[in-house]
Amino acid sequence: MVVTTTDEILFSPFGQRKGIRQIAATYDWAECPDHFKSYRPGRLHCYDADVQNVALDRFGRHLTGAPQD
């Protein structure tokens, strides 16, 4: 899962989109595009409990084989 915020101050919007595209392309190359997820909460650069819970939930579903969103 790639997490970048919509109001990111450390990376430009162009750099964020480019990075997401490149990482998604790697999952395509590895023939598992369904394992890729991009999450962009609407806030400043902050990886608080809400963002961490989204990431941990996705990782937990991956480990257990549960359906991904």
Q: Give SS3 for 2.
A: strand
pLDDT one-digit tens code per residue, 24-63: 999 999 999 988 999 999 888 888 899 999 999 988 988 8
pLDDT band at 10 (very low <50, low <70, confident <90, very high): confident
> What pTM did the predictor assign?
0.77
Residue 59 tokens, joined: 């990782």
Show contacts of 10-17: CB within 8 Å, 24+ apart: 10/45
CA angle, residues 23, 41, 1, in degrees to nearest 5: 30
Domain boundaries, the chain: 2-64
Dihedral over Cα of 45, 5, 37, 53: its sign: positive
CA 59 from centre of chain: 11
